[in-house]
Amino acid sequence: MPKDYTLVLSRVIFIGKGAKQPNAAKLWVDYVLSKRGQKVIGEQCELFSMRDDVEGEYTAAALKKQYGGNLKPIPVDAGITEYLDSKKRLDFIGHWKQTLQSK
């Protein structure tokens, strides 16, 4: 892991507007976020549980203990959807390609 900082990606779960079974989807989201669901995620999937009341190697608490203030979570907010706009996305990709070619 880098010593200066380590970016941490969040997993996002949502229920689409057009979900055919929105109540079943809500039950699934509730389970995934529950203590039991987070324990399964941490112990069996080896993904990191985000709950403070779940203990183990694959938890946010274990990451914080190991890396302390070097963890830099990428925020999940309205800004994350900025590049869904096709013009902004194409401009970004064009700039990225141009930067790579100049090196």
Q: What is the pLDDT of residues 10-66, one digit of tens each?
A: 788 889 999 999 999 999 999 999 999 999 999 999 888 988 899 999 998 888 888
CB-facing half-sphere around the CA of 39: CA atoms within 13 A: 6
Question: Across 1-5, 11-15, 73-77, 82-86, which has the greatest mean pLDDT?
Answer: 11-15
Tell if the pTM clears 0.85, that is, is over it.
no
Q: In the chain, how long is the greatest CA-to-CA distance?
A: 52
> Which residue's entry shows tokens 């389970």?
31
- CATH superfamily, region 6-76: Periplasmic binding protein-like II (3.40.190.10)
Amino acid (one-letter) located at 5: Y
